[in-house]
Structure 1
């Protein structure tokens, strides 16, 4: 089968197209003929071995696929690696049946970005009706869905940040009440101004660095910041517990694999609700572009440069 393999860690240049034997599923695993694979910013960290889960070489990257099993079952699923290929093995525990009427791009949008947005709002920050919610990178995969969900679930004011006029226009189209330039030098002041001069209740942050520092400073008493990514590749200033205490604020991290350990099948509940919203026309995935397998280096270059919006997918036949 055709696949992308990494034999040394690095940037987009280490992604190489090769022919590999078909993977063989073990107990509790499904073999999936991949119709589309998801492209995520986390994949760029996987390629350089800078993410939370350390990888071993040789490596076929890619953590999400949609396709059919040999029995004809259509599933979308998560895997630790192996997604950038014509066939992949997916644990049964992280596979979800795709309802009729949900296309490949939407299914892939929900399995990582959608469930992440759901868990951030439901479990990490415990969104309350009337809360002001800041969504950084609001035109991205998670951000574009978080804007829609926050608005639907009663946020009082949704404040989007994005780096270009087109991305800010998209965030407004998706339901944000205001969209501000993410490159502003004083994010704390910009967020307060966008919230009518008041500090904000909730921030969803996947950027890191100064954006995180300034967003924490913009939190109101009992405000919550959920940190779920490191797109800037810059480390925020370490958070001092005394400062959290003095302002009654909370900072929480969220990494999706941990959610599968929660009781009550939290991710499965998230996926069921997300698919219901999609089928009801109340939630939509934003297409961000489709790349052939032979174009995977360009895809990673686009991800790293943050030129993209919405959901990016990889066609293993391309």
Structure 2
């Protein structure tokens, strides 16, 4: 079967296509004939050698863990992540076939395409977890044109929340505007915060300098939820400033740790809600499996919009 492997830690160029033996399913396992693979920002970090304390991956390995495809004619999505030393690591996804536990197979609703379904395998649970922390009527979403960001914008707008969407560049800000955001700001400008009135909460998928700037826009008594590292690191607001202003800071480690069963429930809920038209993922670009390096390069260059997928 065809796979992509991380030969060694480094830039996108360390991703190399390879041909390996077909997987042999063990008891209680099934082989998914993959039609699309999810590409996460986390995949690019691990490829570069980041996060060894949390994700003990060792080259060579097959990155990624969200797949969609067929099992005996049924359309299913599945998460191929593996437990290594008590840590769940996202591996085994960039492949034309994947052996997974039958308990991990989730049917794809008729109202979704394969690509739409796999786009929700990881961002669906993220969406559901973050929504539980939303408070107030005015919310700033950073990285609003990313995979999780576009879902958050749509669902918050549906709930009647006044959404301020922040993204970089005309293509991304236009997308966020089309999703119904009340206002959109381009944080490619160093003065992007100047025109943003205080918000009740920030959902920060950008991190880094952008996330810290967004923190300053939270009104006293509001919430700042940091869940993304698109800026290279999680935002780390000053604890003294947060305490003085009564701002509750919620980091990724504060989000509920999901068991496999609970994660499955959240994926199923998201698939059902998306199939009913409550919101839809935005798939900005697809690449052939063999061009996984180009997919990672696009993400690194901040050129990717919405979800990025690989197609075997």
TM-score (ref. length: structure 1): 0.87
- Contact 1:134 1:203 (C-alpha < 8 Å) held by counterparts: yes
Superposed, which structure 2 residues align to 1:18-33 within 5 Å? 18-33=18-33
- Which piece of structure 1 moves more, 266-275 or 110-119? 266-275
Aligned to 1:275: 271
Q: 2:22 aligns to what SS in structure 1?
A: coil
Alpha-carbon deviation of 1:261? 2.4
Structure 2 distance, partners of 1:173, 1:253, is 29
- Contact 2:110 2:275 (C-alpha < 8 Å) held by counterparts: no
Structure 2 distance, partners of 1:138, 1:170, is 9
Aligned to 1:55: 57
1:177 to 2:177 alignment = no
- Contact 2:149 2:205 (C-alpha < 8 Å) held by counterparts: no
- Contact 1:136 1:161 (C-alpha < 8 Å) held by counterparts: yes
Structure 2 distance, partners of 1:74, 1:285, is 18
Q: 1:134 aligns to what SS in structure 2?
A: strand
Alpha-carbon deviation of 1:85? 0.8
- Contact 1:144 1:286 (C-alpha < 8 Å) held by counterparts: yes
Q: 1:212 to 1:6 in 2, by over 3 A?
A: same
Alpha-carbon deviation of 1:257? 10
Alpha-carbon deviation of 1:168? 1.1
Aligned to 2:160: 154
Q: 1:183 to 1:16 in 2, by over 3 A?
A: same
Structure 2 distance, partners of 1:235, 1:173, is 28
Q: 2:286 aligns to what SS in structure 1?
A: strand
TM-score (ref. length: structure 2): 0.88
1:83 to 2:85 alignment = no
Q: CA offsets, 1:64-105, max 9 Å, x none?
A: 100122x33321112221111111133445432111231111
Structure 2 distance, partners of 1:178, 1:5, is 41
Superposed, which structure 2 residues align to 1:1-318 within 5 Å? 1-51=1-51, 52-69=54-71, 71-80=72-81, 81-122=91-132, 125=133, 127-128=134-135, 130-155=136-161, 157-192=162-197, 199-234=198-233, 236-237=235-236, 239-240=238-239, 242-254=240-252, 259-261=257-259, 265-316=261-312
Provide structure 1 residue ranges, at least 5 long, that are not aligned to the other structure: 193-198
Provide structure 2 residue ranges, at least 5 long, that are not aligned to the other structure: 82-90
Q: 1:3 to 1:153 in 2, by over 3 A?
A: same
Q: CA offsets, 1:197-234, max 9 Å, x none?
A: xx211211122221121222211133122212211214
- Contact 2:62 2:94 (C-alpha < 8 Å) held by counterparts: yes
Q: 1:110 aligns to what SS in structure 2?
A: coil
Aligned to 1:196: none
Total equivalences in the alignment = 301
Q: 1:86 to 1:153 in 2, by over 3 A?
A: same
